[in-house]
Amino acid sequence: MSVAIIGAGTMGAGLARRIAATGENVLLTGRDPTRIAMIAVDMPGDVKPGPISHVVQSDMVILAVPYSAAADALAEAGPLTGKVLVDISNPVGPERSLAIGMTTSAGEEIQKLVPQARVVKAFNTIFSELLGLKLSEPDKPPQVMFAGDHEFANHKVEELIRAIGFEPLDVGPLKNARFMEPVGVMMIELGYGLGRGTRIAPRFVEY
């Protein structure tokens, strides 16, 4: 499955590197073509730079921009009919609050913006620093939660999470992004507010 990424910040670039390391080709896109080309040229593997409008050529699109920029970025991407669209955002408001939540989520609002795409919420509960780490315990990697309403799309995201060395955790339909996003903000509070750093991740265990 070909992958495109919108946004080449810490998450977008980190995911591009990690996916390219599996041998997949990646289309890395953003609003500043010069900056995107400079980031892509330094990456090992097959990472090609391009404009956001080209993501339609890929089967899966990872939206790696701030939630506040999602509508603008998606307007440039087009309707993304049939595409798997991975929303990784945490809608963070002032003082590490949730900008939206309880009765909706960033994931659901993004699905409303592109109703023809198949949105999967994922990666919002792990820090970008983990994408760059060589994992010390490969048999017990960080868990990456995902939620979505489309079985095929969920399966493809689950495969991607596993392929890049993490443990997928299916947390149900897209409306459960309402619970994943507070977990993402809790991690930010733990990491930055309480000084635990960004080499941390939540883990679901059964006893």
Ligand X SMILES: NC(=O)c1ccc[n+]([C@@H]2O[C@H](COP(=O)([O-])OP(=O)(O)OC[C@H]3O[C@@H](n4cnc5c(N)ncnc54)[C@H](OP(=O)(O)O)[C@@H]3O)[C@@H](O)[C@H]2O)c1
- Contact footprint for ligand X (CB under 6 A): 7-12, 30-32, 35, 64-67, 69, 72-73, 88-90, 123-124, 127-128
Smaller CB distance to ligand X: residue 4 or 8?
Answer: 8
Of 152, 205, 151, 148, the C-alpha closest to 172 is 148
Q: Which H or E element spans position 15?
A: helix 10-20
Smallest distance, ligand X to C-beta of residue 207, A: 28
Answer for the pair 170, 89: CB distance below 8 angstroms, yes or no.
no
Residue nearest to ligand X (CB): 9
Minimum CB separation of residue 167 from ligand X in Å reads 16
Identify which of residues 71 and 206 has a Cβ nearer to ligand X in the complex.
71
d(CA 126, CA 113): 25
Contact 180, 145 (CB under 8 A): yes
- Of the pair 99, 151, the CB lying nearest ligand X is at 99
Q: How far is the CB of 137 from ligand X (least distance, A)?
A: 20
What's the min distance (Å) between Cβ of 90 and ligand X? 4
- Tell me the two tokens of residue 49: 């730079």
Identify which of residues 42 and 206 has a Cβ nearer to ligand X in the complex: 42
* Cβ neighbours for 164, distance < 8 A, ≥ 6 positions apart: 15, 18, 19, 21, 22
